[in-house]
């Protein structure tokens, strides 16, 4: 997709990957609708994009609320026109000792990471299908393809759901002229930890869990602006899977070999 002149909506757009992608797409001529719950950061990014000479609207939006996301779609179209690209990017981290993580915490994590994406699809996809034009980018994670730690199970499970949902969405949308990309970053320098929850873990266990995750995903943290540029390039080329770090390709190949060996062992035991 050539994004010049397109209206782009980005949830979680006030910081991190959302901000980086908003700036990258604005530089390519897109008009931007920023959605986030942090009004101060929203205003700052709104000013950045306005300074680039692009139209921009900032909307306070909690993707865990049905009405907020529906109103986001209505405000985007009433202010800037038909939305050509939606990036479902808002997310949170939940990790902990699983015996202490209650259902309300699971629901909080899935309500944002999974149902936030579903709400975005529900609000924007019908309009795209009707126009036979559009693009959706969903932010998953390398943790949605390979389990990094046991304590990260809630986050990992939510991102596995996003990966599967996005693969199916791409298959569904292809005949209707709507393209789909799946972003699966590893370590990125963002503000994600500010809203994260860590339950039933001592400080020492939290440090050990973080180190374990870093050792599995490998490589230093990437800058969010760099990831945003990769997203913009992927949209231009209509690339489905966006893996910002080359180390993850080998990680996925290793997972494939492990799964294949497991299946063979089970078949041999029958």
What is the Rg, in whole angstroms, of the alpha carbon atoms belonging to the chain?
19
Name residue, tokens 């078949």: 267
Helices (H) and strands (E) in the chain, counts: 9, 11
Indicate which residues carry an active-site annotation: 155
How far are the Cα atoms of 69, 127, 222, 257 from residue 212, in angstroms, in the given order? Answer: 35, 43, 18, 21
- Cα separation, 140 vs 26, whole angstroms: 22
Q: Tell me the DSSP string of 42-98.
A: HHHHHHHHHTTT--EEEEE--TTSHHHHHHHHHHHHHHH-SEEEEEE-----EEE-G
Tokens (6 digits) for 8: 């782009």
64 within 8 A of 12, measured Cβ to Cβ: no
User: For residue 236, what are the contacts with CB-CB under 8 A and spacing of at least 6?
Assistant: 1, 2, 3, 28
3-state class of 191 per DSSP?
coil
Q: What would the two tokens of residue 202 be?
A: 């001592």
Among the listed residues 152, 138, 261, 137, the one whose alpha carbon sits nearest the alpha carbon of residue 217: 152
């Amino acid at each position: 997709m050539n994004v010049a002149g397109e209206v782009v909506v980005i949830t979680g757009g006030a910081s991190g990957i959302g901000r980086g992608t908003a700036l990258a797409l604005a530089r390519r001529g897109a008009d931007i609708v920023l959605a986030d719950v942090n009004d101060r950061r929203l205003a700052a990014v709104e000013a950045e994009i306005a300074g680039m000479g692009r139209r921009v609207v900032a909307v306070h939006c909690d993707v865990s609320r049905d009405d907020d996301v529906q109103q986001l779609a209505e405000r985007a179209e009433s202010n800037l026109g038909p939305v050509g690209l939606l990036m479902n990017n808002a997310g949170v981290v939940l990790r902990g000792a699983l015996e202490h993580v209650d259902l309300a915490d699971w629901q909080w994590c899935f309500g944002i990471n999974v149902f936030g994406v579903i709400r975005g699809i529900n609000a924007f996809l019908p309009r795209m299908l009707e126009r036979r034009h559009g693009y959706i980018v969903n932010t998953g994670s390398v943790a949605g393809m390979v389990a990094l730690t046991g304590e990260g199970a809630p986050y990992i499970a939510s991102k596995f759901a996003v990966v599967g949902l996005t693969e199916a969405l791409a298959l569904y949308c292809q005949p209707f002229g709507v393209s789909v990309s799946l972003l699966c970053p590893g370590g990125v320098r963002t503000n994600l930890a500010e809203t994260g929850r860590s339950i039933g873990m001592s400080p020492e266990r939290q440090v050990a869990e973080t180190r374990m995750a870093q050792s599995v995903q490998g490589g230093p943290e990437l800058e969010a602006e760099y990831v945003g540029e990769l997203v913009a390039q992927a949209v231009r080329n209509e690339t489905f899977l966006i893996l910002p770090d080359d180390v993850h390709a080998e990680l996925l190949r290793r997972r494939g070999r492990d799964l294949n060996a497991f299946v063979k062992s089970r078949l041999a035991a029958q």
